[in-house]
Amino acid sequence: MRVLVTGANGHLGYMLVKNLVEAGHAVRASVRSLADARKTSRLEAFSDVEIVEAQLARWDQMRAAMDDREVVFHAAAVYAYTEPERDREMIEASVQGAETAVRCAADAGVRKLVLTSSMVTVPLTAPGAPPIDETAWTDDLRVPYIRAKTEGERNAWRVARECGLHMVAVLPGAILGPGFVRNTPSIDVVEMMARGALRMGVPDMNFPLVDVRDVVHAHLLAAEKECEGRFIVCNDALPSLREMVETLHEIDPSIPLPMMTLPDFMIRFLPAFDRLNHLMLHSPLTASPEFMQMTRGKRWNASNRRIKEVLGWEQTISMYTSIADTLGVLRQRQGAAAGRKMTQNA
């Protein structure tokens, strides 16, 4: 296939490029700026990858990037929960950016566009309720990231129908695993746990975990197979936060276990504890007030049945392996940063 991957410097985008190259496809990779070595250096290691500049707000660049492409993987996005100053940028990237991608793909005669959406576009449920499938859409849009992804995907479907473009949407859970050079909010959760931020207590919540390698496989299947509609991609079982900390402790016993499970009424105080941990432990911020309010008393509870039945996808990476590989990259980066600091101080 002749493909374009947008957002190719991101966690998912880079791993998509890597797997597409290994499979022998002709890959064009777009980044926001060719002048930014942080966005291009890893991609330049692939000798056969064509790297182009394509900002989501630039029709001319996006349209040129799609010339002679059969399939477009639109993975470019802004992903943030605790940076309110980026809310407008995030919503514009998801809504206007996805619309530009769809219209450019239709104008370029692209055979199929595979849109990376998110599992946050489907509702949470009460504990013990039946799993949600792809027919459901969340109506709780108080969290800016969830609003951005939901409104962005809905608008992309509207424009794709209007333009007659064949589009498929992949809805990943929170992506962990190797291949990242900077944290996403999903990676932040693992780093926060590894730094001991849940030592005093862990909230009674779960996590919609999926490994990046399984998400890449879902995208490739969506591109290669005859299919329509939306596909949730997440692990067969979505772990509790306690189970994740216990897994980290099993990998590295120096990571402390929680002393207790926090009662539900304390969820409202988590953003304050999060900021305290950020100051004391240098752990990433992970809890916004809106997100804590939305998830209180609810569970991530989505079914991956459709992607299994229609595309033949299966989870291949265990929770243990995904968390271990994520922690390995975090530790490697921390070691490299410490080495650079020592060199500067020498």
Q: Give backbone dihedrals phi and psi of 14, rounded to 5 degrees, phi first.
A: -65, -45
Is pTM beyond 0.85? Reply is yes
**Would you say 215 and 75 are in contact if contact means Cβ atoms under 8 Å apart?**
no
**Mind giving me the DSSP string for 261-328?**
EEPGGGGGGHHHHHHHHHHHH-PPP---HHHHHHHTT-B--B--HHHHHHH-----S-HHHHHHHHHH
User: How far is it, in rounded angstroms, from Cα 197 to Cα 202?
Assistant: 9
The torsion angle over the Cα atoms of residues 48, 53, 54 and 59, rounded to 10 degrees, is -120
H helix or E strand, kind and range, residue 179: none
Q: Which residues of 300-334 are buried (b: 16+ CB within 10 A; e: fewer)?
A: bbbbbebbeebbebebebebeebbbbbbebbeeee
pLDDT of residue 340: 59
pLDDT at position 342: 46
Options 3.40.50.720, 3.50.50.60, 3.30.70.940, 3.40.50.300; CATH of 2-182+208-236+301-317: 3.40.50.720
Q: What's the pLDDT at 339? A: 60
C-alpha to C-alpha distance for 39 and 64, rounded to whole angstroms: 19
pLDDT at 338: 61
Residue ranges covered by each domain of the chain: 2-182+208-236+301-317
* Residue 36: per-residue pLDDT: 87
- What does each C-alpha distance from 66 to 103, 157, 246, 292 come to in angstroms? 11, 19, 45, 40
Query: Which parts of the chain sit beneath pLDDT 50?
Result: 342
* Alpha-carbon 161 to chain mean position: 25
